[in-house]
Amino acid sequence: MTRDLTLLPVALLHALKHYKALHERVVMMQVDTEDVPHVPPERRIELHEVGKGFYTMLLRYGFMDQPNVMRALAQTRAQHLHINLMETSFIIGRERLRTRARRGAFWHWRNRLFIMLSGLALDATEFFRIPPNRVVELGGQIEI
């Protein structure tokens, strides 16, 4: 999963560095929430074959829709991409926020508050309805 399909996901780079191999088929997926209540099913999935087992998939949901990645993957059969959901792994990047060591007191409490609030956000696995036993999380730390 990625925020931008025009860039290679950092999580994929970390996985390649760690495993020193790529899967036979890689689907880079971006999930967008549009400024409409509901996105019609015919506009929901945009799938492109890049080549050599690489695909990009853009999923669109309205702000009232509940994203369901597993259902979207099951619907790719209509576009001739057959995915065995029981053999699918999701590589998700996770960033851990940290404060910089030398900042003024004013910025320090604001950064700590931001880090605390970001920790209250729903986990991507829950939000996108991905089975937790299918997720591999690779991450790093970001200083703010």
On whether residue 2 sits in a domain, the answer given is no
Q: Residue 104: its pLDDT value, please? A: 66
Which domain covers residue 38, as residue numbers?
10-143
103, pLDDT greater than 70:
no
Contacts of residue 94, defined as CB under 8 A and 6 or more positions apart, other chains included, come to 124, 137, 138, 139
- CA dist., res. 144 & res. 141, Å (int): 10
Chain center to CA of 44? 16
Domain tally for the chain?
1
36 within domain boundaries: yes
Work out the percent of the chain whose per-residue pLDDT is above 90.
47
